Amino acid sequence: MQSSPLCIGLSLAATWLSASAWRRPDSQVERLCDLDFYRRVAQRAEDACLDFVFRPDALFLDLPALAQGPGFSSLDPALLLAALARDTRHIGLVTTAATSFNPPYVVARQLQSLDWISDGRAGWNIVTALDGSQNFGDAPLPPSAQRYRKALEFTEVVQALWRSYPQDAVLADRTSGRYADLARIGPIAHRGEYFSVQGPLNVPARAGGRIPLFQAGASDWGRDFAARVADAVFAATPDVACGQALRQDLRRRVAAYGREPDAIRMLPGLSLYLAPTRAQARALHEATHAGQDASRKRHYIGQALGLDVEHLDPAAPITARMLGQPQKGLRSPTHAQLLRRLIEREQPCLRELLARPEASASAHWTVVGTVDDAVDAIRQRADAGAADGFIALPGGAMQSLDLFLEAVVPRLAALGLARRAYASTTFAGNLGLA
């Protein structure tokens, strides 16, 4: 049985406007670049005592997808969260910065600045990026192993820069005229495979500061990277068994690197379509996805499974023996592997497969139902050891967000599965990190 509160975050990607949901009259889609839109969401999340709000990022514009929805076109996450810091007091603010394209000195400075602006509530979601290389030169993204080697060096450089200028080096002694003790500040003089950075950083670290590190990616290389550096992992785990396997594997890897197994939290995305009744929730889910481009799903299934989808009988089971090799250049091998495991486990027909979240290269844990259904599903995952928390992704309409914050979270708190109050003034403190 789960004995401590779960770590719960809320995506600021406005998932309740995804697919066809933005077309609802009450969607407020026109406000996607309006700070007040996000300010109110963040304040409501803080009122519910969530651990953090999180803004994913994309460094490109998907024009075909943009024809039918906003996708990931968005404000810069670091700037957005810095603005939200002034209107919140306790909730963690997790921004995303890619290691494939950004200079580590710039990212170190942005995050250290956000930590000051928010009084210790900054968090960093470390991604290697799957798309966007065309906006940073002509070279394609390197293979996964190389991207994660670069990410590890990038993270080590950022952390060294954070340490290079401690706050206690600032003396500000008006009498003597001595501003800083230079003996406590030093260059990092890093020379590595990917980066040469002299340092020190020009923003001091907060006294006792600790910026929690998050990582998104469940490939073998991603898991190994997370085991080395991350405090939490964002992951797609569509079912309990998948969540248990990933959590156990991460804890084994963490221990192998000399860290305590509890040092890392596994936080799956939880897509929530909520309504007063199950029938209403199913109708909301169906209406949201009714306009989705089935041809794009079929194309992705064919790529991921190595199948000629156009010649499949839509009602015939797809078995593991039918699967071929995934096509090269697949955007996310991790999601493709989840799709293949689904085939091996359930042998769905094509018609059934097209209705699953895995067919959209998402594979998030999904609950379509009432507040009771959501609470029961979360409790079952926690009790099964399949999650240490989750990232809430309300879907379909603003009502899913409302019901999650105003009904699901209080119910979880009553069960001891969500916090009732903040224990610390900093994000790391609320997460119980040293």
Strands, DSSP E only, in 323-402? 365-369, 389-394
- CA distances (Å), 61 to each of 37, 71, 77, 410, in order? 22, 8, 15, 37
Phi, then psi, of 406 in degrees rounded to 5: -95, -15
Check the annotation: does 148 bind a ligand.
yes
Q: Measured at the alpha carbon of residue 429, what is the angle toward residues 117 and 158, in degrees to the nearest 5?
A: 55
- From residue 366, how far is each of 14, 61, 272, 369, 377 by CA, in Å? 16, 26, 6, 10, 9
* Amino acid in the structure at residue 45: A
Tell whether residue 300 is among the known ligand binding residues: no
Query: Of 56, 43, 400, which is closest to residue 234 (Cα–Cα)?
Result: 56
Encoded tokens for 159 = 């952390």
Q: How many helices (H) and strands (E) does the chain have?
A: 15, 13
The Cα–Cα gap between 41 and 132 comes to: 28
Which structure tokens are listed for 201? Answer: 């950083």
Q: Of 90, 97, 77, which Cα lies nearest the Cα of 121? A: 90
390-400: buried (b, 16+ CB within 10 Å) or exposed (e) per residue? Answer: bbbbbbbbbbb
- Give the helix ranges, DSSP H, for 333-370: 333-346, 350-354
3-state secondary structure at position 244: helix
Partners of residue 25 on adjacent β-strands: none
**What is the distance between the terminal CA atoms of the chain, rounded to a whole angstrom?**
25
Helix (H) or strand (E) holding 94: strand 92-98
Tell me how far the alpha carbon of residue 434 is from its chain's centroid: 22
Only one residue has tokens 């968090």, namely 123
Residues marked as binding?
A: 57, 96, 148, 219
Residues marked as binding for FMN?
A: 57, 96, 148, 219
